[in-house]
Structure 1
């Protein structure tokens, strides 16, 4: 006996990924093939009749069309086929697009009519069509609303597609009035002949003509000037269809050519001056930074504190900076700031902060009041300028007489300390943290206090260090900084800082920093 093979219909349905349903319309029960049950997401004994109870399972916007299709197939005057696409609510709550097809099988014995059909899940195609329609709509909206002329021409240089700006420029009542016409219908013969020759050359060589400035001559109006880019129009198979182009009217610019030339020369002169000033500003900004901290110490009979720093601006005008503030014979303050952004604006805020720091110098012994005064001044300046900017900062005060380090953070990472070869990032007391500078007026700032006996080495840093990313988008992270401090805890401070910078650069996908980086560190040792 020969083994039973699937029927041609079964094979065809399997190949097309379709399932079969069978329904006697007067009955509740409906038959679904296994494929349909898979689409519906129900076991056979729980599968609902989605045709009879469409109000429960079919999207409300699609129910009328489905019911209409069922009614028509049952009608004597209508075709005996059913065809509709609808959205079906899957048991998991998602909507699936189903393509439902059916054919009426009339009952010959007076029993109820029967509809037999197929179902296929077309969600992928529908979603792709929706995305494509949306993309086409966005493209159409863009072309229709950009203030330039966009057009396609066939191999005879006749318009086949254009936007409204093109119709308006050529004096046509609508885009439709352009279709089938050429430049000879709008410009004088001289300009139209030149345009045709250019388009023939583009089609022959298949090389574009980009940003060509032309004088447009008309029969019944003054000449105009335009900047035009034209390219060969190829279909997706690479067959030449004609040309397409983008034209911008630059008449006013050309008519003002002499003035603009003079203005351009003046602007160039000013630009050169600005470049020189920016270069000078960067030199001044660099000069305003404290001189190398190598060798800077604070000491008494019991302790000696030495300092080191590394500063790597990412652009001509940096937003990171640091400052060391001598307070007394046994006390010193140090400040690191990170202004939002880069460039001139960030540099100006840095200058403001330096001025505010000088103004608040009397409060330099108290980190919380020092930052409070700077914040009040910066908020006042930014509000008057109607500008939203902020800067994160940390200010620390070392007091050898008291044997303490007091610090206050304004939205800035807390310091990392090393003690007996073990590094950790300090945690702030309480749940609330101080905001960045320049955001909220009247904000009280809190300070933290730490004994110098708990510190062998301390590092403060800006986010350009721990936020640098590798080729996988992974940030360097504070944990790697902590590991570096532990690995190099026995080395000189300057060597340790160089190691941290080198390791972070090696981690970076570009081997450079994308943001400004500033490190300031201190070692606490025994005194005289």
Structure 2
């Protein structure tokens, strides 16, 4: 079966989904193929000459554009191609995009015929519009994210940047940056490092992730950024260059450096403070009589008459507990124990004050009540001048071995615990005077007994029984008394060790909450007293 040229042409047009048209310029009639009629939504006899009455079929915004293109094409004899993409409105109201292409036939420099084709490109236009919308949305996101975004080609030239990158570099718009490299903005050394990183990324395919970089600019102070940089491949896998983001962390780095410097300064200050604390601790320890060589001198009057031992356990470097053993006239011995409110530096300062006041009142040390009164007056006067709102509890015992006589005075402090072997007894419920440092005219009274009636005596501060375990339960005065009664050891050192062990067993690894001071005395008996 032989096919004519027209038959072949029709098959080709059908396969390409295109329709043809033919118009003699100026004529009211136009030839449209069936495919064109389908595009337009016309039935036979409904055709409209699109070239003479475009406003009857074209989408209104496209009418002027169509007419201008047609007029320019027909006015230029050097122009043969008529080409336009425009929208039509079908009789059913549906809009379509058409691609219209035509060739002008000229005669005597006049257009006499315009012949061409049409094809429905609505799907393509919708896809392009959707793609453009996606690109627009993506660009909005890129331009408004709080990071710098950049794409660079294989020569490290910028090919795309967001507005944030423009602002960062100091450009008004991306066009100022495109085609330039970091060399245009940064120092030579910084550019060399940046270029080297780009080359490494492109050669190895390995990314740089969350690297902190110091940017050294040509004309402004250094900045710091955190960068992520990766190789840039196109959709076909061809290497295009690099892309990445950077975040300004200059303030964070500056704050970090300041914090590090502050930490270093604090470390140095803390070291100096600890050295000062250690010195203060050594000075405070020097005030106590328990040092080797000094202790023996203080307890010399008791040798052969009584066995004495002490425990001093500070809760911190500086303690608020204090004790002293003082040889007095006529073979007497004074034993003093005090607990300043709290612990630490403030309490340690008050301890130093107490030591000074005790030296001033030393001439009254054989008179317990008067001695305590003098201490109170001196301490109250100093604290008042210093406007320090603190107080101190204290207990003072004077042992007169020659007369077999013991007197005790308390300034708000716990009375000692006793084990008795005679009829005399001090119950601990006797009247206590006010704590030191509160009232200038406070009165104190002594409680006395025979030394020969005493087996052992334990003086203590409240840190021993107020310390608690991990559950918050205090060891308590009852447990202290029980440990004291049960600790029937031969020496006072062993007794204090036993009490300390029982307290530590209750508290576990937690340790004491407050300073602890213990003084234990065991009397030698009637023969030892020389009575």
TM-score (norm 2): 0.48
Larger C-alpha radius of gyration, 1 or 2?
Answer: 2
TM score, norm. by length of structure 1: 0.49
Give 1 or 2: higher helix fraction: 2
